[in-house]
């Protein structure tokens, strides 16, 4: 799994959509005076990117598949059915069954629920903590900043996967614990990025003005720094979702993830490994879950890239 | 330069201190403490108390920490009661094999990633660039173990070209004597890394192509080939060196999954077995060694960068 160092480039096209002198662009420039226009203009640029829109459609489809699908396609995902162990795909079981007789299509849905829930929640928790930590550290500066960043360095020096494996062994995680186990690692990278952003934001006049007007540190951070770093934060959240889903899949694959009968996409793949190593080809144990992971993560990566372009365009228009 | 070295080394030492405190704190996270997790749920409270006293777990944290660091400085990383072997000897046995896997995978991925990334930057926004970009994105989104599963299915099960298992054996020589078995693990390991290097190389070359020194070189009448290889390539390679030093956590993660998928007898597989057996001494010892390697890697990357680029030293 690729957890990309913050320094690495993740952009796809590197095509920043340039503003043209169309009426829409001028309207967008005028809207700058209104509050929340940042998000609205971001959306306008985003909507011009077909790949990103397709990815958004893909995410909506996958969410519906996982959460609405089980209401339409009824399967028993709690009790094992050993008479149908490893049955190949058929009319009754569209994607066959796994080694415990669970219907694979139904399992893909409930496994996807776990993957998506953990992915979203872990990303939000990690970005929330990382943003506050990074913004505070960068804003305060000096030795406090230096020490806070050394803590981040220390955390980032420990190969994350080892910590996550150890924590999973210790806690036998359910969904909620899994969210925090992933977030415990992931907020560090976010903190570093947001701190970098804060260093440049804190010298701006409007942040200085808060100080002059007698506003406290927390007010400057929460009301002025964080909203102006919102572009970075949103883009990071998108990538964090993809990464969290990958990490969860890895832990699930190792058999240390959520406990049965719950499952996730990675956990489903670990069954496939057992049978591949014995030399038999049960392809339906491998492809569905693997493709689900790839599609979801690619879609989130595309969306993240498009969002970054959107927010960068904002800077160009200024 | 000396000042930079001292400052950077002190920072690394502070990080090392924080990590060691954190690692020891992990021991106390085990349910009921480390001794309870070792003896199991049926051990009596007296037994647990006895061994807690014997191993010093009843003492204050800072006393435990000092004793533990003292042991570490003597090269004693602990003892695996499950394997009846010291963690140090376990590392001595498995680390060389993991280094073989990591080194082969890194070299192969660099051999593809650097030239193809350069090609993409020079021929940007062409069909070739888009195809390679698509492949890189696939690399970002595909879990390493899934690449391994697919390779086993295609090349070991369907056409019997390569064995589905990694080479087995206790020494590096035994591992290297089975090159056919090494092919699939190394390819699977390289794929995700390739995505990382090639993307980075692409953006790095594109950044360098618009720099002033490139314009100067062209103005002097240097050929396009000389500009590319003599100026841009060398400067882009520099940032790849740094990235390499910072990527150790990614390399370790990849190694763990590849070793599990292909049953490759290295540190990753040993770490995984230790996780399943709750063999906490092995878990902590391995984590500490991998972390130390990362810190040293980061330090080398920074120092290397400062050697190559004098501007860094003064910032």
* Interatomic CA distance for residues A8 and B101, integer angstroms: 23
Confidence tier at A35 by pLDDT (50, 70, 90)? low
Give the pLDDT of residue B93. 86
Answer yes or no: is pLDDT of A313 > 80: no
pLDDT of residue A32 exceeding 70, the answer is no
Listed range (A9-13, B174-178, B192-196) with the worst mean pLDDT: A9-13
Q: Name the residue with higher pLDDT: A14 or B134.
A: B134
SS (H, E, C) chain A: CCCCCCCCCCCCCCCCCCCCCCHHHHHHHHHHHCCCHHHHHHHHHHHHCHHHHHHHHHHHHHHHHHHCHHHHCCCCCCCCCHHHCCCCCCCCCCCCECCCCCEHHHHHHHHHHHHHHHHHHHHHHHHHHHHHHHHHHHHHCHHHHHHHHHHHHHHHHCCHHHHHHHHHHHHCCCHHHHHHHHHHHHHHHHHHHHHHHHHHHCCCHHHHHHHHCCCCHHHHHHHHHHHHCHHHHHHHHHHHHHHHHHHHHHHHHCCCCCCCCCCCHHHHHHHHHHHHHCCCCCHHHCHHHHHHHHHHHHHHHHHHHHHHHHHHHHHHHC
Of A256, A246, A239, the residue nearest B147 (C-alpha)? A246
pLDDT at residue B262 is higher than 80:
yes
Closest-CA distance, A290 to chain B, in angstroms, reads 6
Structure confidence by residue, pLDDT tens digits, B290-302: 888 888 888 888 8
Q: Please tell me the predicted confidence (pLDDT) of residue B57.
A: 75
Q: Which of residues 296-315 of A touch B (CB under 8 A)?
A: 296-298, 301-302
Query: Which chain A residues are Cβ-neighbours of B294 within 8 angstroms?
Result: 157-159
Q: Do A250 and B263 touch (CB under 8 A)?
A: no
Residues 6 or more apart whose CB falls under 8 angstroms from that of B107 comprise none
Closest-CA residue of B relative to A154 is B15
The residues, any chain, with a CB within 8 Å of residue B143's CB and separated by 6 or more, are A1, A246, A249, A250, A253, A266, A269, A290, A293, B257
- Look at the block and give the residue holding tokens 């695996």: B80
Which residues are paired to A103 by β-bridges?
A97
Residue A246 is encoded by which pair of tokens? 């990958």
Residue numbers in A near B142 (CB within 8 A): 290, 293-294, 297
Residue of A nearest to B11 (CA): A150
**Mean pLDDT of all residues in A87-103:** 73
A21 close contact with B: CB closer than 8 A: no
- Contact of B256 with chain A, judged by CB distance below 8 Å, is answered with yes
Q: Are the Cβ atoms of B291 and A170 closer than 8 angstroms?
A: no
Which of A2-11, A256-265, A276-285 holds the top average pLDDT? A256-265
At residue B86, what are phi and psi to the nearest 5 degrees? -75, 150
Of the pLDDT bands very low, low, confident and very high (cuts 50, 70, 90), residue A280 is low
Report the range of poorest mean pLDDT among A113-122, A303-312, B7-16, B290-299. A303-312
Classified as helix, coil or strand, B25 is helix
Chain B contact set for A10 (CB, 8 A)? 140, 199
Q: What is d(CA B166, CA B179) in angstroms, rounded to the nearest whole number?
A: 9
Taking every pair of Cα atoms in chain A, the longest distance, rounded to a whole number of angstroms, is 75
pLDDT above 70 for A315:
no
Dist CA A94 CA A73 (whole Å) = 10
Residues B94, B266 contacting (CB under 8 angstroms): yes
d(CA A102, CA A111): 12
The predicted pLDDT at position A5 comes to: 44
Average pLDDT, chain A: 78
Please list, residue by residue across A147-184, b when 16 or more beta carbons sit within 10 angstroms of its beta carbon and e when fewer do.
ebbbbbbbbbbbbbbbbbbbbbbbbebebeebbebbbb
| Contact at CB, B30 and A170, closer than 8 angstroms | yes
* Integer Cα distance of B133 and B138 in angstroms: 9
* CB-defined contacts A:B, below 8 A: 195
**B165: pLDDT strictly greater than 50:** yes
- The CA distance from A166 to the nearest CA of chain B, in Å, is 7
Least confident stretch, A40-54, A109-123, A193-207: A40-54
A315: closest CA of chain B, how far (Å): 19
Amino acid B88: pLDDT: 85
Q: Is there a contact between B247 and A14 if contact means CB atoms under 8 Å apart?
A: no
For residue A222, the number of C-alpha atoms closer than 13 Å in the C-beta half-sphere is 7
Higher pLDDT, B86 or B258: B258
Contact A158 B287 (CB under 8 A): yes
Q: What's phi and psi for A32, nearest 5 deg?
A: -60, -25
Q: With a cut of 90, say whether residue A217 has pLDDT above it.
A: no
* Average predicted confidence (pLDDT) for chain B: 84
pTM for this entry:
0.84
DSSP label at residue B178: -
* Cα B138 from chain centroid (whole Å): 21
CA atoms within 13 A on the CB side of B177: 7
Cβ within 8 Å, pair B141-A301: yes
Better pLDDT: A261 or B268: B268
- Preferred mutation among B28, B141, B267 to probe A, highest tally of A CBs within 10 A: B141
Among residues of chain A, what percentage have pLDDT more than 70?
82
> Which whole-number Å values give the CA distances from A166 to A123, B93, B160, in the listed order?
20, 22, 37
Task: Look up residue B232 and give its DSSP letter.
Answer: I
pLDDT category of residue A20 using cuts at 50, 70 and 90? very low
Q: What is the 3-state secondary structure (H, E, C) of B89-134?
A: HHHHHHHHHHHHHHHHHHHHHHHHHHHHHHHHHHCCCCHHHHHHHH
* pLDDT at residue number B222: 84
Give the per-residue pLDDT at B110. 92
A2 contact residues in B (CB cutoff 8 A): 139-140, 144, 192-193, 195-196, 250
pLDDT of residue A12: 37
pLDDT surpasses 90 at A86 = no
Is the predicted pLDDT of residue A18 greater than 50, yes or no? no
**Integer Cα distance of A288 and A285 in angstroms:** 7
Containing B86, the helix (H) or strand (E) segment is strand B85-86
In this predicted structure, the answer to whether residue B166 has a pLDDT above a threshold of 90 is no
Minimum Cα–Cα distance from A297: chain B residue: B141
Position A150 scores a pLDDT of: 86
Alpha-carbon distance of A263 to A115, in angstroms, equals 9
Cβ under 8 Å to A: B residues 97-156:
124-125, 133, 137-146, 149-150, 152-153, 156
**Closest partner residue to A8 among B243, B249, B291, by Cβ?**
B243
- Residue B313 banded pLDDT, cuts 50, 70, 90: low
Mean pLDDT score, B83-94: 84
CA pair distance B181, B96, nearest whole angstrom: 17
CB-based contact (8 Å) between B36 and chain A?
A: no
- Give residue A317's pLDDT: 45
- How far from each other are the two terminal CA atoms of chain A, in whole angstroms? 38
> What gap in Å lies between CA B314 and CA B305, rounded to an integer?
12
Chain A residues in contact with B195 (beta carbon < 8 A): 2
Q: Closest partner residue to B275 among A155, A160, A256, by Cβ?
A: A256
Q: Which two tokens stand for residue A230?
A: 């919102």
**pLDDT given at position A121:** 94
The interface predicted TM-score (ipTM) is: 0.86
């Amino acid at each position: 799994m690729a957890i990309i160092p913050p320094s690495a480039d993740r952009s796809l096209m590197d095509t920043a959509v340039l503003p043209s002198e169309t009426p829409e662009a001028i309207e967008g420039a005028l809207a700058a005076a209104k509050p929340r226009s940042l998000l609205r203009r971001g959306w306008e640029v985003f909507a011009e990117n077909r790949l990103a829109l397709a990815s958004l459609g893909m995410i909506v489809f996958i969410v519906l598949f996982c959460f609405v699908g089980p209401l339409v396609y009824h399967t028993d995902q709690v009790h094992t059915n050993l008479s149908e162990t490893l049955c190949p795909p058929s009319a009754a079981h569209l994607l066959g069954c796994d080694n415990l007789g669970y219907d694979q299509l139904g399992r893909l849905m409930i496994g996807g629920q776990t993957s998506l829930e953990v992915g979203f929640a872990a990303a939000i928790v990690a970005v929330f903590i990382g943003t506050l930590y990074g913004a505070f550290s960068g804003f305060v500066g000096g030795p406090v900043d230096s020490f806070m960043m050394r803590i981040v360095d220390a955390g980032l020096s420990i190969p994350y996967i080892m910590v996550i494996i150890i924590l999973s062994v210790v806690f036998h995680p359910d969904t909620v614990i899994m969210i925090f186990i992933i977030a415990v690692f992931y907020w560090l990278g976010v903190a570093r990025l947001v701190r970098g952003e804060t260093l440049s934001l804190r010298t701006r006049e409007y942040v200085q003005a808060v100080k002059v007007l007698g506003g406290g540190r927390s007010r400057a951070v929460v009301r002025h720094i964080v909203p102006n770093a919102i572009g970075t934060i949103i883009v990071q959240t998108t990538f964090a979702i993809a990464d969290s889903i990958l990490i969860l899949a890895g832990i699930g694959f190792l058999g240390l993830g959520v406990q049965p009968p719950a499952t996730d996409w990675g956990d489903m793949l670990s069954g496939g490994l057992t049978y591949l190593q014995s030399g038999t080809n049960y392809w339906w144990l491998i492809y569905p879950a693997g493709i689900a992971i790839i599609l979801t993560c690619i879609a989130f990566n595309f969306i993240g890239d498009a969002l970054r372009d959107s927010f960068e365009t904002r800077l160009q228009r200024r | 330069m000396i000042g930079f070295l001292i400052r950077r080394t002190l920072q690394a030492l502070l990080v090392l201190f924080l990590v060691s405190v954190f690692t020891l704190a992990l021991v106390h996270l085990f349910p009921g403490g480390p001794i309870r997790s070792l003896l199991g749920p049926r051990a009596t409270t007296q037994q647990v108390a006895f061994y807690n006293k014997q191993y010093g777990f009843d003492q204050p944290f800072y006393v435990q920490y000092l004793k533990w660091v003292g042991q570490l400085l003597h090269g004693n990383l602990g003892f695996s009661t499950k394997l009846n072997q010291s963690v140090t000897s376990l590392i001595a046995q498995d680390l060389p094999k993991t280094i073989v896997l990591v080194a082969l995978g890194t070299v192969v991925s660099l051999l593809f990633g650097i030239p193809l990334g350069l090609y993409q930057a020079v021929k940007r926004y062409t069909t070739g660039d888009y195809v390679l970009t698509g492949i890189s994105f696939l690399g970002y989104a595909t879990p390493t173990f899934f690449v391994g599963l697919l390779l086993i299915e295609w090349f070991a099960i369907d056409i019997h070209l390569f064995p589905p298992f990694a080479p087995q054996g206790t020494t590096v020589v035994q591992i290297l004597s089975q090159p056919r078995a090494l092919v699939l693990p190394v390819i699977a390991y390289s794929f995700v890394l390739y995505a990382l290097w090639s993307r980075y190389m692409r953006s790095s070359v594109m950044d360098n192509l618009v720099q002033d020194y490139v314009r100067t070189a062209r103005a002097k009448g240097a050929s396009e080939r000389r500009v590319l290889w003599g100026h841009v390539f060398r400067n882009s390679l520099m940032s790849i060196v740094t990235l390499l030093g910072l990527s150790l956590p990614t390399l370790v993660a990849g190694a763990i999954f590849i070793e599990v998928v292909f049953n490759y007898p290295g540190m990753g597989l040993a770490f995984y077995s230790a996780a399943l057996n709750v063999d906490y001494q092995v878990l902590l010892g391995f984590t500490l060694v991998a972390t130390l390697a990362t810190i040293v890697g980061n330090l080398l990357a920074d120092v290397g960068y400062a050697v190559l680029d004098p501007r860094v030293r003064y910032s």
